[in-house]
Structure formats: structure tokens, C-alpha cells
């Protein structure tokens, strides 16, 4: 595992940090990412009304996966994360889906090694890939696209890097819509966050040419693309 991924995995595997992060994660109307999660599911549903398998990578408590499983009652879900603390929370929060969810512990940089099955109709991830450098990010997209069935959807809802001026503006104004995290639940990044073009380039390099930014607010983007049907 590359050093940047190893460092991020160590942070999220710390039970005290993961618990503090979960406690500070916005809920309800203060969760600004609820809308793009719904947008992602609706975009997939418009062309793939009955997906069989949805894989959620670095799923955390499973918020993104729950939106997809609610939208597609016939779909199965695979939950993947490196944190045992997140696993415990996800099992509680996703219990209502019963045996529709399989849980895997593993790193987002080694999907096959973690046991992620091939042939997914959608592979989704949220708030995790910003820990990766450009090369690692592109490697993740290549492996993720390889896990998809023809016509499968690759979806990433994540924070992006900005120039310092806009980063300062957005972070200042965002506080008016959602409270900032507590000190105990914040974490530093070893390098600048990937920019929007790094993500779009990564999708295309992985063979997902049909890609766009479906939603953007402040420093967060919903990247979504579909692999070729044949």
C-alpha cells in the first residue's frame, strides 16, 4: 500500500478518531451531501432502473449505500471500509436492509484483495479519495472501473482541492450552512487534495469517457460516469 494510503488508513482505523468523526458528522437538514447522494441514485435509475449489485467503497456509516438501497429495493449492497469502528456503526445503521448487505474490511486501494465482487452495476464512494495523490487516485479509478459490469456506473462524491483564495472563501461561507467539525474529529492531509481535473482525467484514463460533474457546492463535487455498454 502506498504511504499516503497507509497514513489515511491508520487515521481512520483509530477507534477514538472514528468515533469522534461519526459523532460530528452532520445529520438531517445540516447534511449538505444528502442532495447529491439522491441525485446520484436518480441519475443511475434513469438509465439503469434495476441494478443488481451496488458496491460502496470507504463507506463509513453507510449513508451513501443506504440511499441506493432505498432507491433500488431489488439491489444487493457491498459495504467496504478499513475501519472496525465504522463497521460497527454501519451494521447498526444498515440493519434494516437485512441480508441485502455484505460487509468487507479492506482498503480502497486494493478492492480485489478485499474481496469486492466483479460485475457491479454501480460502484460508489464518498469523502475518501481526497486522501489519495493523483497517481493513487487514477489507480483507484482503474481498479474500480474494472469491477463494473458493462454499462456500470462509477460515482464519487468528494472534496476537491482549490486555489487558496477560493478555498478560504468557500470554507468561510460553508459555516453558515453547516457547523464546523470539532477539533477531535478533524484530520490533516499529507498533500494537496486532488483537483476536479484530476478526477475527470482519472475517470477517462480508466476507460470511463462518459463522465461529468453532476453537482458542485463549495469544495465538494459529485463525479459520475458510465462505462461502455459493450
Sequential DSSP letters for 120-151: EEEEEEES-GGGS-HHHHHHHHHHHHHTEEEE
Tell me 96's DSSP state. Answer: G
| Mean pLDDT, rounded, for 193-218 | 97
Domains and CATH numbers, the chain: 3-226 (3.40.50.150)
Q: How confident is the model at residue 41 (pLDDT cuts 50, 70, 90)?
A: very high
Q: How confident is the model at residue 22 (pLDDT cuts 50, 70, 90)?
A: low
Average pLDDT, the chain: 89
Q: How confident is the model at residue 175 (pLDDT cuts 50, 70, 90)?
A: confident
Residue 21 has pLDDT above 50, yes or no: no
Amino acid at each position: 500500500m502506498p504511504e499516503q494510503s497507509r497514513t489515511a488508513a491508520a487515521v481512520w482505523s483509530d477507534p477514538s478518531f472514528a468515533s469522534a468523526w461519526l459523532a460530528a458528522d452532520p445529520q438531517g437538514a445540516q447534511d449538505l451531501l444528502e442532495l447529491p447522494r439522491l441525485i446520484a441514485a436518480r441519475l443511475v435509475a434513469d438509465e439503469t432502473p434495476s441494478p443488481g449489485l451496488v458496491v460502496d467503497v470507504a463507506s463509513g456509516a453507510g449513508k451513501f449505500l443506504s440511499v441506493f438501497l432505498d432507491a433500488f429495493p431489488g439491489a444487493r449492497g457491498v459495504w467496504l471500509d478499513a475501519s472496525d469502528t465504522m463497521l460497527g456503526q454501519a451494521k447498526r445503521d444498515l440493519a434494516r436492509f437485512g441480508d441485502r448487505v455484505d460487509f468487507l474490511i479492506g482498503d480502497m486501494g486494493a478492492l480485489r484483495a478485499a474481496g469486492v465482487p466483479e460485475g457491479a452495476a454501480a460502484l460508489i464512494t464518498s469523502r475518501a479519495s481526497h486522501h489519495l495523490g493523483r497517481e493513487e487516485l487514477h489507480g483507484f479509478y482503474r481498479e474500480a472501473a474494472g469491477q463494473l459490469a458493462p454499462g456500470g456506473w462509477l460515482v464519487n462524491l468528494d472534496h476537491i482541492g482549490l486555489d487558496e483564495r477560493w478555498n478560504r472563501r468557500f470554507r468561510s461561507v460553508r459555516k453558515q450552512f453547516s457547523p464546523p467539525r470539532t477539533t477531535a474529529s478533524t484530520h490533516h492531509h499529507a498533500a494537496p487534495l486532488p483537483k476536479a481535473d484530476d478526477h475527470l482525467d482519472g475517470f477517462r484514463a480508466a476507460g470511463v469517457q462518459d463522465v461529468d460533474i453532476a453537482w458542485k457546492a463549495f469544495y465538494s463535487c459529485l463525479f459520475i460516469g458510465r462505462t461502455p455498454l459493450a
